Structure formats: C-alpha cells, structure tokens
Amino acid sequence: MDNVMISIRARQEAPDGHVEKLHHRLKGRYFFKGGKHYLRYEDKYLDGGKRVPTTIKVAEDELVILRHGTAKTEQRFVPLQETRSDYQTPYGSMELLMRTESLQAAFGEEGGHIRAAYHLSANGSPVGRYEIEIKVEAY
C-alpha cells in the first residue's frame, strides 16, 4: 500500500448527552517503518477549510495523532491510561487529557482499521466521550 483512501467515522457524546457524528473520506498515504504503521493526509475539516497536515502513527498498544497547521497537537492514546497533550493555537495553548478506554488496530496487504474509545477533557473540563474508527483501503 502507498496511496490509500482513509475513512474516518467519529461519534462524540457531550457531558449533557448530546451526540454528534461525523464521517470523512480522504486520500492519503500509508507506509510501515520501524515496526509502526503510518498514515498521512491533509484534513480540511478541522480549521475552517484550511488543510491541516495530519499524521497517524500506530504501534502495538499505542495510537498517536499529530497535527501541524494553524493549530498544533500531538495526541497519544494508550489503552487504560491517561495521557496529556498541549493543543497550541494562535490564541494560546490548551491542555488536553485523554483517558483511553480501548484501542484496536490491524493492518494487512489490502488495508487496515483502527478503533479507539476515549474520554476527553480540555483545561480540566470534560468535553465528552469519543469513539473513532479509521479504515484504510488501497486504491
């Protein structure tokens, strides 16, 4: 695999019970290096339509999402652990705390998938519970 189609489905449940769902399909690149799976793509849905370079790195029992645009962040997800990240924007920095409930990933010659469920807090306030599923298909 090199050029891939990436399908991202997410579900967010806010503390008040409100549920939001999203689904995006984007073209990207996949490669395997140093025992880790990498996905690279430009996310046009995060920053008012601007393209945000995004890298997803998957290792055994760890998922890392790196974004480098107007806003920068490195989010780490490790099953049954709490991890911290700074979300840096032109207006200042926000502390993110992710408590990962579950993480599964599998890759083969024709594609792969990643599933994660986690709770997110920003600057000490609960944002919600998230479920994310990423499917990767060669094209």
Torsion angle (degrees, nearest 10) of CA 117, 123, 124, 130: -10
In this structure, how many other beta carbons lie within 10 angstroms of the beta carbon of residue 31?
12
Cα–Cα distance for residue pair 138/49, rounded to 1 Å:
26
Cα–Cα distance for residue pair 99/103, rounded to 1 Å:
11
Cα–Cα distance for residue pair 25/5, rounded to 1 Å:
7
Question: What secondary structure letter does DSSP report for 139?
Answer: -
The pLDDT value given to residue 12: 97
The pLDDT value given to residue 49: 66
pLDDT in tens, the chain (139 residues): 689 999 999 999 999 999 999 999 999 999 999 999 999 999 876 656 678 899 999 998 999 999 988 879 999 999 999 999 999 888 889 999 999 999 999 998 889 999 999 999 999 999 999 999 999 999 8
Cα–Cα distance for residue pair 26/53, rounded to 1 Å:
12
The pLDDT value given to residue 121: 97
Q: Look up residue 84 and give its two tokens.
A: 């911290």
